[in-house]
Amino acid sequence: MSTREIIILPDHRLKLVSAPVPEISRDVRKLVEDMFDTMYEAPGIGLAAIQIAVPTRVVTVDISRENEPRNPLAFINPRITWASEEMSCYQEGCLSIPEYYEEVERPARVRVSYRDLDFVEREIECDGLLATCIQHEIDHLNGVLFIDHLSKLKRDRVTKKFIKQARHREQGH
């Protein structure tokens, strides 16, 4: 069990489309363990493998509150098979875009097919925060960030801010 570095905007790898997992292996199980460790340490409620620079279709989620028992969920090769016409708005943030939050509108309910850690095909229907979180993480697998759902003006503003911060880090400031 170990934490891994989360890549930050404007890292180009965040725009990669992740490859499907062909089978469960020791490496995939280790990846999922490391993703949970990294997500809890951050702290966050969801993490896509690409956020730790692994372009594979793996997502971890845990929306339990601080005073509740953990409820870790791992999704291998998740895909949305149905989305409600009803929409909902949540203020979203992202571990790869730290300390930036914005309202995003998404379908209120979704059905997701995925494989579990035994590579058994599963399906979950969810709403509320879980639906928002899963959609956010599946977007990552497709190279889409939550800021891509914002107006061009807001998206450009936050992207420029993170490009500037990256330059400062590179220059040792």
Active site residue 33: no
Output the DSSP codes for the chain: ----PPP-TT-GGGGPPPBPP-S--HHHHHHHHHHHHHHHHTT-SEEEGGGGT--BSEEEE----TTS----EEEEEEEEEEE-S-EEEEEEEETTEEEEEEEEEEESEEEEEEE-TT--EEEEEEEHHHHHHHHHHHHHHTT--GGGGS-HHHHHHHHHHHHHHHHHHHTT-
Cα–Cα distance, 34 to 54 (Å, whole number): 11
What token pair was written down for 137?
């993480």
From 23, 85, 121, 137, the catalytic residue: 137
Residues taking part in catalysis: 137
